[in-house]
Structure 1
Amino acid sequence: MPRFARLFEAAADTLNAYYQAVADNSIDTVMSLWLDEEFATCVCADGTHLHGLENIRAGLGKQFEAQAVTIEPLDIRVYDSLGTVVYAVAEAHQPAASTGVPRMIYTTYVMVHERGEWRIAHIHASVMPAETAGQFAAKLRHGQGPLH
């Protein structure tokens, strides 16, 4: 299966490119990573549902205008098949101008292989409850890993 190993690593490259584009506050780069289909969807951590590339661009653009954010993935679970990769990620979202406590977010990324490249088809983010975030942080501090 070495032939497929690089195929799935390329999906991770797309996820990393997304994180970098968000940190750079570059809506054009973020949008270049999406599947070129109108069924693409995004559920933001604030509960906003965005359907279609035009709505995703407008919604994410508003978020980018409001505040630049750095996303740090803390725990990543990967589920893959030949044409789809799903990432379930616990993330810390830190506003660029802030030194305070980051928001803890659960995010699921669904990527599909299209024309030789991995593209984002769906993102679903939700705020981690405060109690869960505290438990998560405590486990990381004690070196147990987030899900032990």
Structure 2
Amino acid sequence: MHRPKAQAAALLSSPEDTEQQFYEALQGADLDRLMEVWADEDEVSCVHPGGPRVVGLGAIRAAFEAVFQQGAIAVHPERVRRMVSGDTAIHQVLERVLVQGAEGQQSAWVISTNVYLKTAMGWRMVVHHASPGTAHDIQEVVEEPATLH
């Protein structure tokens, strides 16, 4: 379902709203909805797991159009770490992707960084960088804070 831009802006009132729409669009292979989350900036970029850096809205649209020719992506964001500074939000996401293999449905893992900017049209994605992961990546190495309060 295509949404008017004004309605999409109202739905993208936080980085979390934008991220939710991004993953729902991937799950539904909805190219128009997916493109609504991107900022209208020349330097927006996307890296698919194992792929090159794709820069610009037209190139990003073409890249996702090619991905969606294989169908929807059963991707589920997990273990999201969020950092916000002013009008910029950075989310580090462990993505669980369900894939059909010889042994039935299995989970594959992708580690992504999503960067959002607050714009006049609400929060918009400016970078999606995804790298192949492994089941080992379910574990996190977290440094304990050095300062005691």
TM-score, normalised on structure 1?
Answer: 0.79
Q: 1:80 to 1:68 in 2, by over 3 A?
A: same
Specify the alignment match of 1:89 in structure 2: 93
Specify the alignment match of 1:35 in structure 2: 39
Of 106, 128, 143, 1:123 maps to: 128
Instruction: Confirm or deny that 1:102 pairs with 2:107.
Output: yes
Q: Distance in 2 between matches of 1:14 and 1:56?
A: 17
Q: Is the CA contact 1:19–1:70 (under 8 Å) kept in the aligned structure 2?
A: no
Specify the alignment match of 2:78 in structure 1: 74
Q: Is the CA contact 1:111–1:120 (under 8 Å) kept in the aligned structure 2?
A: yes
Shift of 1:127: 0.5
Identity percentage over the alignment?
26
Unaligned runs of 5+ in 1: 1-8, 140-145
Q: Partner letter of residue 94 of structure 2?
A: A
Instruction: Give structure 1 regions of 4+ aligned residues with deviation exceeding 3 angstroms.
Output: none
Q: Distance in 2 between matches of 1:116 and 1:33?
A: 10
Of 112, 116, 123, 1:111 maps to: 116
Specify the alignment match of 1:3 in structure 2: none
Specify the alignment match of 2:69 in structure 1: 65
Shift of 1:91: 0.8
Q: Partner letter of residue 105 of structure 1?
A: V
Query: Between Structure 1 and Structure 2, how many residues are aligned?
Result: 129
Deviation track 1:71-121 (CA, whole Å, cap 9, x = no partner) reads 1112110010110000001110124x6752121000000000010500000
Aligned to 2:106, the other structure's residue is in SS state coil
Larger helix proportion, structure 1 or 2?
1
Equivalences for 1:131-146 in 2 at 5 Å?
Answer: 133-134=135-136, 136=138
Q: Is the CA contact 2:42–2:56 (under 8 Å) kept in the aligned structure 1?
A: yes
Specify the alignment match of 1:53 in structure 2: 57
Unaligned runs of 5+ in 2: 1-12, 143-149
Q: 1:77 to 1:63 in 2, by over 3 A?
A: same
TM-score, normalised on structure 2?
Answer: 0.78
